[in-house]
Structure 1
């Protein structure tokens, strides 16, 4: 008698080719081999999806919360030639225009009425209105990543692109961004006045790094610029008017590929994520260091010529994106992470939202809001993270506990439950322990609690990208 041989394999993860937030992080787009979809960022909800036959897409870029999307073909079997930008009106469900270039499109950035296209050695800007016109173009150094960043707030003007020399950034000022079209009856409040013109002419070139740039980021206002290089150890924050280096933040000491930097909307913090699978959060307020961690030798740098490393600012909080480690164990106990069955979720995109502050003591009490993070992985993981509230030195921080998030609609959800810290060995019944030994152990416990408090709290975890009727 022959018995068939059966094998058990893990479920294949969703393969996300691209996922991007709109400038305000109100929604995000994602594309897979089946087409593309648009989701509400929080609460997570599928707004619409489009099945596209005949090929795949490399980029789907939303123009704020309008129905206009910019599509670029890519992958092994591109739906559109990679040298074209397709204008897709999702209200009509079809293509309405296209831009064709002589080479592959590397990157896109847009704001109301404007589109910037990055090619290998130049950036071309178009004005998009009832008619589309070519505004200008600028030469850059070799830019295979298609780096560029544009300020999107009303009256903002900044466009940041790589300069002609490696590691340099060119700052370009476009006409001011127009305010969004009001919906419904006109507002009684006066329109927002434009900002005052700078007292001196803004700088046009910033020598940011000595090696090739890996990311460029600006907040919606365009007041600052964040740059990272191929080394992946430092994040530099620049004033875009004066060209002055404002802060230098250290992601780590070993080389990494930084995927992105995002400013909090009020420009008080930034988050950084890389191929290490960790999201780091830095404070931009306060004096040198602020809430950020620093070496214990940093106060001595003014008196002793120590290496610059000892004066670095490190993130005050972080979150490690779970990944499949050695991982899938059939005997995993209750301590198993709710996302332990997810395959390699280290590549991600992160954005800021205003989310609820949950109250476990009084669930019926209306919750206030705080700035939180949404992390989207390229295998379909959606994480809502709460940042620790740390206002002073990291040693005086108070550890927080994960709590459950509010009930939500759409996809199946796994939420973080409150975890109790393991009982310390200081509660042991061993006699004869000296008070000095107890003090050292208490110090170690406090140090451990301070370390735990630097971890972001997982409020909600969900899945996106499986277009099977979630909504």
Structure 2
């Protein structure tokens, strides 16, 4: 009898109801049935926690690295009504204000001094200072996911949300984002020049898709916009051929790459540069000659990582209490949220050189630090060689490898076949992100 390997534990499983990065990915928050906590992203470190009784939270949104957090009640027993946003000052450990609406809050986004709240068919923006002031509101199409995004870099102005028609995106320009108060000496480079003030509230519409939006994202500068649905406006990226729900998209801080994560537990990385290293179909060179579907013009990610499934870890206490009613609050096994960080590359001769890595947070309490594969343009151009050549015949080098003698294939042929398989394996492995560090979060002092 062959039995799978299981880890049996009498402790309760970690249950993360929500996990969110701050706009700079310096910290992240984790909501659990017992309250919420704030962590330093890298290295992973618990900064503070708040145990709350009487209900659960649907979201805890940090305002950069300040003491201000925006709380939203949710779950089977909400701590706060779902139509309220609670402004929490963690320096004093209590709420200082609340925003009440006539309907359920669907989503939130923030930047220094500003908060945007998404409802089912409108977005309301508030200015947060010594007092809370309602700045304005805009109508949207049906937006049950509460999609919206704000640019957070100094002097940025963009707020992106659902438009007034299916698949449209509404771009709203707010007053410029202020500069953060520096705790360290200012940088040697001159600060970015502030843009001229807006003469009026500028609103633009982009017809991005023919079907409903599923996610939208912008980088801190607000210069780019990423949306997920059936088709993209400028360039179409595909995470795979099987159906999946996209959970989120995040731009690299320098806007050269973006990552996408889905309900399949996979993280995909795409190159945004003109000399892209993304994979393409082997039939893409013929798209100008033959009427191929748009699918063959798409680009696939050049790097991926699959989050390990945690279902093999069985908890005796959880299985004994398993029921249909308790399953409602259980997080999806492979659900995650991903952000970009900058770390020192010790492998280089100049340790001060920075490289970008990914931090993936799972709703089962996993913290993954991933490095990207070193893929060159030349290597990437051959990533799809295994899918067949255009003419149906192997390349010239392959023809010599498969040459046959009168008595059959020679030992040289078998050796070349082995080398070819080894090269294909190396190419396949080169497309995978490398797990640099794995840790757990979400359980401390009995949580």
TM-score, normalised via structure 1 length: 0.79
Query: What corresponds to 2:336 in structure 1?
Result: 348
- 1:268 is displaced (CA, Å) by 0.2
2:436 equivalent to 1:463: no
8 Å Cα contact 2:175/2:197 also seen in 1: no
8 Å Cα contact 1:293/1:394 also seen in 2: no
8 Å Cα contact 2:344/2:351 also seen in 1: no
Structure 2: segments with no counterpart, 5+ residues:
1-7, 315-330, 384-408
Query: What corresponds to 2:62 in structure 1?
Result: 62
Query: What corresponds to 1:87 in structure 2?
Result: 87
Distance change in 2, residues 1:80/1:308 (3 Å): same
- Secondary structure at the aligned position of 1:302 is classed as coil
Query: What corresponds to 1:429 in structure 2?
Result: none
Query: What corresponds to 1:138 in structure 2?
Result: 138
What is the number of residues matched between the two proteins?
398
CA distance in 1, matches of 2:135, 2:332: 42
Distance change in 2, residues 1:197/1:301 (3 Å): farther
2:391 equivalent to 1:438: no
8 Å Cα contact 1:270/1:284 also seen in 2: yes
- 1:345 is displaced (CA, Å) by 4.2
8 Å Cα contact 2:311/2:333 also seen in 1: no
- Secondary structure at the aligned position of 2:215 is classed as strand
CA distance in 2, matches of 1:12, 1:110: 34
Query: What corresponds to 1:452 in structure 2?
Result: 429
Distance change in 2, residues 1:203/1:391 (3 Å): farther
CA distance in 1, matches of 2:410, 2:202: 66
Query: What corresponds to 1:323 in structure 2?
Result: 309
Larger RCO, structure (CA 8 Å, separation 6 or more): 2
How does 1:7-406 map onto structure 2 within 5 Å?
Answer: 11-183=11-183, 190-195=190-195, 204-229=204-229, 236=232, 245-287=233-275, 290-324=276-310, 345-359=333-347, 366=351, 368-395=353-380
8 Å Cα contact 2:162/2:168 also seen in 1: yes
Query: What corresponds to 1:405 in structure 2?
Result: none
- Structure 1 residues 290-321: Cα deviation after superposition (integer angstroms, max 9, x where no partner): 10001111111111111111121000000000
- Give RMSD over aligned pairs: 2.7
8 Å Cα contact 1:395/1:447 also seen in 2: no
Structure 1: segments with no counterpart, 5+ residues:
1-7, 237-244, 329-342, 399-431
Runs of 4+ aligned residues of structure 1 deviating over 3 Å after TM superposition are 8-12, 184-191, 195-198, 324-328, 365-368, 393-398
- Secondary structure at the aligned position of 1:204 is classed as strand
- 1:395 is displaced (CA, Å) by 4.9
- 1:374 is displaced (CA, Å) by 0.1
**Bigger shift: residues 180-189 or 93-102:** 180-189
